[in-house]
Structure 1
């Protein structure tokens, strides 16, 4: 499987020659807790988000991904936390992540069980930092330190 994936990544790189762009969300509930998802592919916790579909803007992607992965609705964007573009930030492919902090509302629910195993809200002091998917450890630490990052 590893050999096949390297081959697919190489072909995609040749065809597209551009990184894939996505939105990653730090969903903040009214009580201040941060919502994370447990990913189906790795079993790791991470932030919700996904690829910006053709014809979508970032705001539409944020609303769609929040709904699909967490069951939550967007109230408002609080701030742009950063843009993460390191070629190795996502082990699957070169992707750019636009990280935003968002006020959200609703009831936690998984609507996309192909991608998400669990959804849970964590107090800032109890985030499962240390083994999050992709570069989400770095993204959450940057956020908690109040940074705005271009990396």
Structure 2
């Protein structure tokens, strides 16, 4: 019984002491506007995205999260913008975020009303930069600068 308890403790520690992997998507409409979601938890605008589910790869997560949060369809993944892993990048927990640029199409509608307050496409010059959620301002700047970042 003691061995089983030690194994359970080790398994819990292994799971809880490792970062969660997620995605941020920079969705670009055919007209060049960039789609942002307004979060319910902090009221700020940011990129759609979320955690990778067990048994799911990054492209599948991108497609699922994009549709769940914006109603948009993934046309193509254009490029990797970066991988962001600073322990304080997400105020909720330590997460590793894979950020990609995606070509998208369709009609924008809030699908996940528990997490998302609004969804809107912005011309690049109209994005409320400087006040985006989490570390999305840095992700946006790296995107505009054409960087592929490992941070």
TM-score (norm: length of structure 1): 0.90
Match of 2:37 in 1: 37
Report deviation, 1:131. Answer: 1.0
When the two chains are superposed, the root-mean-square deviation of aligned CA atoms in Å is: 1.2
* 1:1-151 alignment runs, 5 A limit: 15-151=15-151
Gap runs ≥5 in structure 2: 1-11
Structure 1: runs of 5 or more not aligned? 1-11
Q: Is the partner of 1:93 in helix, strand or coil?
A: coil
Indicate the SS of the match to 2:81.
strand
For 1:13 and 1:132, locate their aligned partners in 2 and report how far apart those are by CA, in whole Å.
33
Quote the Cα distance in structure 2 between the aligned partners of 1:80 and 1:13: 31
SS at match of 1:60: helix
Whole-Å separation in 2 of the counterparts to 1:33 and 1:46:
14
When normalised by structure 2's length, the TM-score is: 0.90
Count of residue correspondences: 140
SS in 2 for 1:143: helix
Pair member with larger Rg: 2
Question: What is the alpha-carbon distance in structure 1 between the residues aligned to residue 13 and residue 139 of structure 2?
Answer: 25
